[in-house]
Amino acid sequence: MRTIAIANQKGGCGKTTVAINLAACLAREGKRTLLVDMDPQGHCALGLAVPEDQIEVDLYRVLSSRNGERVDIVRSIWQITANFDLAPSTTALANLELLVRDKPDREDLLAEALSTVADKYDFAVVDCPPHIGLLTRNALNAASEVIIPVDTGYFSLQGLTKQLETLETIQAGRDQPLEIRVLANLYDVRTKLGREILNELRRKFGRLMCQAFINFNTKLREGASFGQPITEYDPGSMGFRDFVRLARELIASGGPEMVPTTLLRRADDLTDQAGRLLASSRPLFDRSGRELNGHRPGAPTPEETQRKIEAIYGPTSTEEGVLFVTSAPNAKRVSLAGDFNNWSPDATPMLPGQSSGEFRALLPLAPGRYRYRYVVDGEWRSDPCNTYVEANPFGQLDSVVEVR
């Protein structure tokens, strides 16, 4: 089980939103995922519609032993969706530090609790409180990786520098390395400040930066208000696509022990192009040379740019049939399964395209509506470049194409 802590001592950078939606997307990619809420505010439960008054066993009960008896973390777990579970907290967790202050193992309580379910999950995502205290230290001691969400605002660089200094101090006392990733969050391509901050983050912390970044998207906030992760609330939104890219980047990395240099690698060619086109830090000017704060007349909007990127991949109608194109770097075999071939994972192999990691298949389909998925080295995936999706009986999403 890979344990990833979501931590930043600066508040307002979207830690809980990242934790909830990253966990949901990892689960959607077929990974058994446990979301662990180490913040006494209990916002993970709130954002997933788990009523606090119905939580009988929370993390405080799990981490605080009474009369020498431990409560198994399994008793606290709630199932959210397929492959997605939650170990919730309540405000009682704030009392843990006072209760265990004299215990020699007080910073390893979470690691011990998670060790009992390490064979049941592929990932544990731990949401940390916005300060460095006993709860955050427990999360970092249990984790092999940490993601630091950084909003692309004015105070982000200073806050990130302090967070990295704190992590270096913690890492000095660890036997195992702690892989650190920095995630640009709440990014707004329309603002000059946002573009400059993202550019500065990449210049200063390029070795640590996630290749994926999370755009500011109101659907993420709306989903939380309805108690749903973005995978359930709006799987056609930009927020959904951003978190799927992040989840796939983490899955592809294989963990710090397996591939220690993967932070420098793109999750796929699509993310690479999106990063270059959407994260430009160049200022915009009008004909008179004045800098524009908003959109330049005649220039493509972010939505238009995104559509151009998506036009490279996904399904396209041609005179010879429907052309399916996807990006799967390092894949040995990619095939197409759907209504048109009785969902056979072997009937329609996709051939390598001209670009590295690109796979193509041309199918002469009769007019109609078809559901489909890609099978990449045996793993079933929906089409990340097709926002037309529908849920299947297995709790996953099928991509849909209509032929007229």
- Which two structure tokens, joined as six digits, stand for 173? 């006392």
Q: What is the pLDDT of residue 344?
A: 92
149: closest CA among 125, 113, 177, 117? 125
Per-residue pLDDT tens for 305-356?
444 444 567 898 888 899 999 988 888 999 999 999 999 999 999 998 877 7
pLDDT band at residue 1 using 50, 70 and 90 as cut-offs: very high
Write the class of the CATH domain 2-278.
alpha beta
In contact, 38 and 238? CB cutoff 8 Å: no
> CA torsion 54→60→66→69, rounded to 10°?
80
pLDDT at 298: 52
Residues forming CATH 3.40.50.300 domain(s) in the chain: 2-278
CATH class of the domain at 313-403: mainly beta
Could you give the angle at the alpha carbon of 287 between the alpha carbons of 285 and 290, nearest 5°?
A: 45
Give the residue-averaged pLDDT of 274-279: 46
* Residue 107 confidence (pLDDT) above 60: yes
SS (H, E, C) 285-335: ECCCCCEECCCCCCCCCHHHHHHHHHHHCEEEEECCEEEEEEECCCCCCEE
- pLDDT tens, residue by residue, 111-157: 999 999 999 999 999 999 988 889 999 999 999 999 999 988 767 77
Predicted local confidence at residue 35, as pLDDT: 98
Q: Which two tokens stand for residue 369?
A: 């509506």
| Region(s) of the chain under CATH 2.60.40.10 | 313-403
State how beta strands 321-327 and 284-285 pair.
Answer: unpaired
SS3 265: coil
Confidence of residue 68 (pLDDT cuts 50, 70, 90): low
